[in-house]
Structure 1
Amino acid sequence: MDELTPSPASVLPQGLDALQNLLGEEWEVTIQPEQTPLLHEGDKGWDAVVRITSRHDSIFTELLVDARDHITPKDVAARIGSTALLVRRVNHYTRLMVFAPWISPKTQEELRRRQIAYLDLTGNVSLRVSRPAIVIHTQGADRAPARHRPTSAKPMLTGPRAGRLVRLLVDAMPPYRATELAKYSGLSLPYVSRLLDALEDQLLIRRDGKVVTTVDWQELLRTRASHLDLMRQTNPQGLLAPNGVQPVLDRLVKRGGFIAGGEVLVTGSYAARPIAPVAVGGQLMLYVMPDPEHPRAVAKELGLVPVPEAADVLLLQAPDLSVLQRPRRFDRYWQVGLSQLVLDCLSGPGRMPAEGEKVIEFMAAEERHWRADDVARLSTDGGPGLF
């Protein structure tokens, strides 16, 4: 076993040490021999029975500890959740507790929802026992440290290819198959299949056989955005509009979103404001084509002047042409699609994440208007629109 992927056998003693340190010297944490198994031999859902005893009055409680080298929300929703339910039915005072090198925020949420205690080696801990009274809740790493990242053949939600598939899953209602998603995203079928497996592990999608039946599009956007940094991935160029931002917008409207022979779309605060006003002001962010010459040509045609600071316009180079797919017309000008707008806002600076959450609220209320009812209706040119 690679040192970067601890085995359950090594996670258990490390977790016990961490639990003992959290409880302090007034408590004793020990592994107990199992006298009467709750389940038939071979069906156990735990690795050890751990007793926590008060050194003051000898009152104790027992935990059934399931030590794992990796855990996903899907694991919790499946066998772990079933085991916890059975344990509670057999003995109301015994709790199931999961130990792992690292537990993601979404997995923690799923564990808490099912009243399952947990501890990871980065400091994420949740334990609540009524007798003796023990309540522990601490926060550790919200991203897996390198030493705790499991090796996996499944791709992550990083990079432009993942962005293409995420937007397709959000913009079109299921059902659909991996073959359809590969066709309309331009991605290889093996890549799409592996990423769908990873998304299902995180409960971001659900499938019936090979058919995607449900997409948790709100959490999918948040999860994808957590892997992004708008200001690092778009090579922004700061510019000054000598006559103010409004003439720039007027020019975009007049030219229908095409400047210097390429597409230019509004994103960020100016794109969010018509549907989710949070605050006034902010920089005008414009996506330009992923071509080194296009930003310079756009700046010249719009009369923008490069400045080292205090820019009121930012030209962002689209890291992939999929960023520019399915644009929408809001107010008077063309801007990125709603799913792309959320990704940009949630991964942007300042108040932009709050704007992104407001856009999600708007999308949830108007889902039947912006979301296509068939993936085949989506194309690189657009899709069903709101305005």
Structure 2
Amino acid sequence: MESPLIREARLLDQGIQALADLLGPEWQVTQRPNKSKVFDALLEVRAEGDSTFTQLLVEATQAVPPRFVVERLVPQVQLLREVNHYTNLLVIAPWISSQARELLRQNGIAYLDLTGNVGIRVSRPAIIIHMVGAEKAPRSAPRESSRTTLAGPKAGRLVRLLADVPPPHRATDLHRTSKLSLPYVSRLLDTLEDQLLIRRKGRIITDVDWAQLLRARAQETSLLLNGAYQGFLAPNGVQALLQQIAQLPQTYDGGLAAIDGLSVTGSYAAQRFVQVAVGGQLMLYVASWLNIDDLADELGLLQVTEGADVLLLNEPDLFVRLRAGFVDGVQYVAPSQAALDCLAGPGRMPAEGEALLEFMERHPEQWRVSKNDNERPPAQH
């Protein structure tokens, strides 16, 4: 195992080399003696043959949570500008999230990560670099071992509760409703606070940035994981299939599908509220007590490897059906789940997810629930 000091030194070397490669051979990037005990390096950057140069104080860090930007980097750069207008701050990290990058840009802090996300703007000499790299953290990117991430079904439960139910919240209430362990809930809330997705006063959650929370969750997951779905063709079309689903038995009996074990998500769920495009693949979560092959036979679906217009997805967790509702006899996931799945889906689906988020921001009364509503998890057979 590498020591933290060795990891930081290697990260710094990789970042400086990446900056030099971006600027090209006509620029010089020189590391100068660093008298600061706060920052990791001092770089001098100049074009060859030009006496004008800029200085970059470097913060090399393994993780850049938004809270770190707001509470540590912003005060540092404000103080730096009071002392020297010509010295800039550069953050180097293995990966920087889109939310953290936006905060850095807003505060005039340069950044560079090893996946290719770069934002550097210097007035003298004129340097403007803006590049987009990975939107999701690579598996190789180090994580703080003590931090719980937004990946996995358990995190999905907590995200749905925080998005759908307005604060205030207590960790003990979330633990009780979600059926997750209290230590796990507490660890994930710490992570969300670091990412500025929630705000707390003492032990009480007072504010939830639910739209950004759904986006952050989508960055940590994928709707169409390998092996998590099967593709089919509906011989009579999607609309005819929806009518068939509405006529399925209400209870599980002799291998037939229970109607409440199927729930529409993705594009068709989003199109109940917004119309970015027409059609798309019909995506259906299939509850764990149902057999996908039996269900496909019952509905007359033809399994295909390409060109599917129907996808049957293994339900990753029963909470994807939390507050699902029936329309014309067919169950649809709640808007927050539909938005989350679209954001984590392929093709045009993220655009549909963003459009649905805009609708949800304008019409919270159509999907957010009262704190006094009785919160019960979906039925599990």
TM-score, normalization: structure 1?
0.86
User: What is the deviation of 1:280?
Assistant: 2.1
User: What is the deviation of 1:117?
Assistant: 1.0
Determine whether 1:351 maps to 2:348: yes
Distance 1:4 1:299, change over 3 A: farther
Residue of structure 2 equivalent to 1:82: 75
Residue of structure 1 equivalent to 2:58: 65
User: What is the deviation of 1:111?
Assistant: 0.8
Residue of structure 1 equivalent to 2:29: 29
List aligned pairs for 1:180-191, cutoff 5 A: 180-191=173-184
Determine whether 1:140 maps to 2:138: no
What is the CA deviation profile of residues 12-70 of structure 1, one whole-angstrom value per residue up to 9, with x for unaligned ones? 343333333333344333344468x7xxxxxx642333222343131122222222233
Distance 1:17 1:307 in 2: 48
User: SS at the partner of 1:87?
Assistant: helix
Unpaired runs of at least 5, structure 1 = 38-43, 383-387
User: SS at the partner of 1:213?
Assistant: strand
Match of 1:265 among 243, 246, 263: 263
Unpaired runs of at least 5, structure 2 = none
User: What is the deviation of 1:143?
Assistant: 3.5
Distance 1:300 1:26, change over 3 A: closer
User: What is the deviation of 1:127?
Assistant: 1.7
The amino acid that maps onto 2:155 is A
Determine whether 1:365 maps to 2:355: no
Determine whether 1:379 maps to 2:376: yes
Distance 1:286 1:132, change over 3 A: closer
The amino acid that maps onto 1:88 is R
TM-score, normalization: structure 2?
0.87
Residue of structure 1 equivalent to 2:336: 339
Equivalent pairs, count? 374
Residue of structure 2 equivalent to 1:170: 163
Instruction: Tell me if the contact between 2:136 and 2:219 (Cα under 8 Å) persists in the aligned partners.
Output: no
Distance 1:315 1:136, change over 3 A: closer
Instruction: Tell me if the contact between 1:240 and 1:306 (Cα under 8 Å) persists in the aligned partners.
Output: yes
User: What is the deviation of 1:146?
Assistant: 4.3
Identity %: 51
Instruction: Tell me if the contact between 2:319 and 2:378 (Cα under 8 Å) persists in the aligned partners.
Output: no
User: What is the deviation of 1:341?
Assistant: 1.0
Instruction: Tell me if the contact between 1:163 and 1:224 (Cα under 8 Å) persists in the aligned partners.
Output: yes
> RMSD in angstroms over aligned alpha carbons?
2.8
Determine whether 1:315 maps to 2:315: no
User: SS at the partner of 2:215?
Assistant: helix
List aligned pairs for 1:4-153, cutoff 5 A: 7-33=7-33, 45-153=38-146
User: SS at the partner of 1:106?
Assistant: helix
Distance 1:6 1:378 in 2: 49
Distance 1:51 1:18 in 2: 15
Instruction: Tell me if the contact between 2:156 and 2:217 (Cα under 8 Å) persists in the aligned partners.
Output: yes
Distance 1:269 1:92, change over 3 A: same
User: SS at the partner of 2:224?
Assistant: helix
Distance 2:269 2:215 in 1: 18
Distance 1:378 1:256, change over 3 A: farther
Distance 1:171 1:221 in 2: 11
Distance 1:235 1:24 in 2: 45
Distance 1:205 1:234, change over 3 A: farther
